[in-house]
Amino acid sequence: MKTVDLTSGLQDDLRACAHEMADAARAAILPLFRSGLASDNKDAGGFDPVTEADRAAERAMRGVLARLRPQDAILGEEYGTSDGSTGLEWVLDPIDGTRGFISGTPTWGVLISVRDAGGPLYGVIDQPYIGERFEGGFGCSVLNGPLGERPLGVSAVTALDQATILTTFPEVGSQAEQEAFHRVAQSCKLTRYGMDCYGYALLAAGQVDLVIEAGLSAYDIQAPIAVIEAAGGMLTNWQGGLAYEGGTALAAATPELHAAAMALLNG
């Protein structure tokens, strides 16, 4: 990849392409949600489900790219990498939260982002069943949903004892990572679990204040980075470095919360 000169016309084209991909993924997924769809296990040593909805959604998004942006690279969870020549790469997670999907909970989402050598430029977190779409980047930070359109914006909370914190799994990651998470959670006002990518969307919307996770891949976190940063928040790894390639993630509404949480994570 290389750094790309992002003209306003190119930004408009990329946004339009992302929305068309999100629409295509919705159309592929929704008929299969709460349908009794079978799942396969990708992890012989544990449980990492994948369904035909995951595969169909990524095929639909790749089909849009083949038509609109065939020279861009792609990194997708289900079908891997495709090389490109433009310096831009689309990072796709067709269903982030497949465990929630097969359980019937509406907290999974479609993640779409585009990046160059400098990192994520723009991202979409789409929840097809609720009909909410969060987007951030290229000067845009907006939620479209059942109540219409409104700007995104993180909360102003700066103290841990006033913060709501989210993570997906109570065990978080390794034993050490679990213990680190709970050091932070014990200092917060409220802890909630099981949100998958929807937790990052809630942070961008100002509903929660911290999201802390571990064991992530690049396709899990690229879109949340773009959406949260556009909404005024920050998202790094647990040491304050770039989280673009996954691993650990610490998303915070304010620098003060981020610093306080990072100190406890590394305590």
Q: What is the pLDDT of residues 190-222, one digit of tens each?
A: 999 999 999 999 999 999 999 999 999 999 999
CB–CB of 231/204 below 8 Å? yes
* Predicted confidence (pLDDT) per residue in 225-247, tens digit: 999 999 999 999 999 999 999 99
- CATH number of the structural domain 160-265: 3.40.190.80
Homologous superfamily of 8-151: Fructose-1,6-Bisphosphatase, subunit A, domain 1 (3.30.540.10)
Where in the chain do CATH 3.40.190.80 domains reside? Answer: 160-265
Which residue matches tokens 């392409």? 17
Q: Which alpha helices (H) appear in the chain, and where do they start and end?
A: 8-29, 52-68, 98-103, 175-185, 197-204, 218-230, 255-265
Provide the pLDDT confidence category of residue 50 given band limits of 50, 70 and 90.
confident
Q: How far is CA 165 from CA 57, 98, 184, 245, in A?
A: 30, 22, 9, 23
- Read off the pTM: 0.94
Mean of pLDDT values over 235-263: 97
Taking 90 as the threshold, does the pLDDT of residue 38 lie above it? no
Q: Output the average pLDDT for the chain.
A: 95
List, by residue range, all CATH 3.30.540.10 domains of the chain.
8-151
